[in-house]
């Protein structure tokens, strides 16, 4: 091994131990398999049935304690922790001494031994054979643990994100997030499958980015000599499937948006979108409640949970609040009553935003101004799950207008703990209106709005063949 790895004295020590292991207990990197019969949690949970039986476990060493003729090691596998009791009597004097010379924190080992309880009462495995399966050449930032408390762990968030593979084994709660996510995805699929939805996949590379207001990543297809975009949303392709005759479809997949990064936004992320023919946004609200509550029950077993110090109750039905009512209550200004043409509505909304300290871009129109005020004065104050409904048409180029007020759409966003966790509406299926909406978006783009939705002529053509009334979340 060469390069800078030799410059670190701790790594140099571990390299020396690796060479020693190769001459005594064998090359750990020559190991190709290990027959695991049980996991740590299984041994602990089923101790009464397993006591006195021989088991084989494998995992990473998190602590090494003891000296002389006995040692205690904490072994972690994917299920949790178990103590390994090793001594001269069970391993033999020479193997015990050889292991003591080469083992370090972070090493991955296989252990065969008898399930037992120590004199201190701790469930353990008394090792009769130990195999070094991988030598950790870098010291892991494992910190200390005792009685469920931990300290001296790596706290640098950027370091942890850049070395997620270390974060996963050094901070067990991170693994729990991965496990919870898997349960959530499985629950979403189960809920939709039970309701007769078909899971599909739509193109990731698209000639026109659409379905959301966001900046895309672009690439060049050499064989076709054309510009393509990583999709920002699957919406327009999923709704093409409704035109084709499917009535209930969904997709759980990756989207890509070339925008800022913070704790709530990532350039690539997983999104669920589904569409149901012959349903409106009221039906989609019920579906959204079912998706969230079922997922919460799958992870927590209850709808009363805590998130970032906030007590939440996800029990349905959730309150519905009209967007302009929420704005009026939060700011004292009734922007829903603003009249006049597009320029007049924008001017009055811009004046209100300036009065209450909301920063705007020069290209922002009436809809973007309303959204900016909403995000500053309403969304952060909503803790319990709430549906914000009836968004202005300027902010909703793919949503169906309300029959009683064409300036508003049948659109909602669910908000939980100050976060917009979705977006849904009764789908616009009128190709004439959709064409007008795309043209309005083109005017926004001409003013410098780089998140304006591009004109998708093929999607309008699809609507001209007829798409049933529908609703869907994304």
pLDDT tens column, 313-366: 999 999 999 999 999 999 999 999 988 888 899 999 999 999 999 999 998 999
What are 132-164's pLDDT values in tens digits?
Answer: 999 999 999 886 666 656 555 677 888 888 888
- Single out the residue of 421, 202, 396, 119 nearest to residue 291, CA to CA: 421
CA distance 281 to 388: 12
For residue 1, the model assigns a pLDDT of 44
Token look-up 């690539």 returns 268
Neighbours of 44 (CB within 10 A): 18
Backbone angles phi, psi at 106, to 5 degrees: 95, -15
What are 219-258's pLDDT values in tens digits?
Answer: 999 999 999 999 999 999 999 999 999 999 999 999 999 9
pLDDT band at 372 (very low <50, low <70, confident <90, very high): very high
For residue 4, the model assigns a pLDDT of 44
CA distance 79 to 371: 45
For residue 146, the model assigns a pLDDT of 60
Residues 6 or more apart whose CB falls under 8 angstroms from that of 154 comprise 141, 143, 160, 166, 167, 170, 171
> Per-residue pLDDT for 285 more than 50?
yes
Please provide the average confidence, as pLDDT, over all residues in the chain: 93
Q: Which domains does the chain have, with CATH numbers?
A: 9-139 (2.40.50.140), 177-319+384-473 (3.30.930.10)
> Per-residue pLDDT for 75 more than 90?
yes
CA distance 267 to 331: 32
pLDDT band at 68 (very low <50, low <70, confident <90, very high): confident
- Contacts by 321-325 with C-beta closer than 8 Å and gap 24+? 321/386, 321/387, 321/388, 321/389, 322/388, 322/389, 322/390, 323/370, 323/374, 323/388, 323/389, 323/390, 323/391, 323/392, 324/390
What are 384-403's pLDDT values in tens digits?
Answer: 999 999 999 999 999 999 99
> Per-residue pLDDT for 465 more than 60?
yes
Which SS3 state, helix, strand or coil, does residue 358 take?
A: coil
Q: Is the peptide bond before 368 cis (omega within 30 degrees of 0)?
A: no
Alpha carbon 12 to its chain centroid, in Å, reads: 38
Q: Where do runs of H (alpha helix) occur along 195-307?
A: 235-243, 281-300
CA distance 217 to 429: 28
């Amino acid at each position: 091994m060469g390069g800078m790895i030799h410059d670190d004295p701790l790594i140099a020590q571990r390299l020396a131990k690796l060479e020693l292991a190769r001459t005594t207990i064998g090359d750990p990197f020559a190991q190709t398999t290990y027959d695991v019969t049980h996991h740590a949690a299984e041994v602990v949970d089923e101790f009464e049935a397993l006591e006195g039986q021989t088991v084989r476990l494998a995992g990473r060493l998190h602590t090494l304690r003891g000296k002389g003729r006995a040692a205690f090691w904490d072994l972690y596998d994917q299920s949790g922790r178990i103590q390994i009791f090793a001594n001269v009597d069970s391993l033999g004097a020479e193997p015990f001494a050889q292991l003591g010379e080469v083992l370090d924190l972070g090493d991955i080992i296989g252990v065969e031994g008898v399930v037992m309880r120590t004199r201190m009462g701790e469930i353990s495995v008394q090792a009769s054979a130990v195999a070094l399966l991988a030598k950790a050449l870098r010291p892991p930032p494992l910190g200390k643990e005792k009685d469920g408390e931990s300290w001296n762990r790596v706290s640098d968030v950027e370091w942890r994100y850049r070395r997620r593979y270390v974060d996963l084994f050094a901070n067990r709660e991170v693994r729990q997030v991965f496990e919870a996510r898997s349960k959530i995805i499985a629950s979403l699929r189960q809920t939709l499958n039970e309701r007769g939805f078909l899971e599909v996949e739509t193109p990731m590379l698209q000639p026109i980015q659409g379905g959301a207001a966001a900046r895309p990543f672009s690439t060049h297809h050499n064989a076709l000599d054309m510009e393509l975009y990583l999709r920002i949303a699957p919406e327009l392709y999923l709704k093409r499937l409704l035109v084709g005759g499917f009535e209930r479809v969904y997709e759980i997949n990756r989207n890509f948006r070339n925008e800022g990064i913070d704790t709530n936004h990532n350039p690539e992320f997983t999104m669920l979108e589904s569409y149901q023919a012959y349903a409106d946004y009221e039906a989609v609200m019920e579906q959204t409640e079912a998706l969230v509550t079922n997922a919460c029950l799958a992870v927590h077993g209850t709808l009363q949970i805590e998130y970032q110090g906030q007590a939440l109750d996800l029990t349905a039905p959730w309150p519905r609040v009209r967007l302009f009512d929420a704005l009026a209550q939060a700011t004292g200004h009734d922007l829903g009553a603003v009249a006049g043409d597009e320029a007049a509505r924008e001017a009055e909304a811009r004046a209100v935003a300036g009065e209450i300290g909301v920063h705007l871009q020069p290209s922002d129109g009436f809809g973007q101004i309303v959204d900016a005020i909403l995000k500053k004065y309403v969304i952060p104050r909503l803790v319990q799950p709430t549906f914000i409904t009836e968004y202005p048409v300027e902010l909703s180029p793919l949503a169906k207008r309300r029959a009683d007020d064409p300036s508003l759409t049948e659109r909602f966003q669910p908000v939980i703990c100050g976060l917009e966790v979705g977006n849904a509406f009764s789908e616009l299926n009128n190709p004439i209106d959709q064409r007008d909406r795309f043209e309005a978006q083109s005017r926004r783009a001409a003013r410098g709005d780089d998140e304006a939705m591009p004109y998708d002529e093929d999607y309008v053509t699809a609507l001209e063949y007829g798409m049933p009334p529908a609703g869907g979340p994304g």
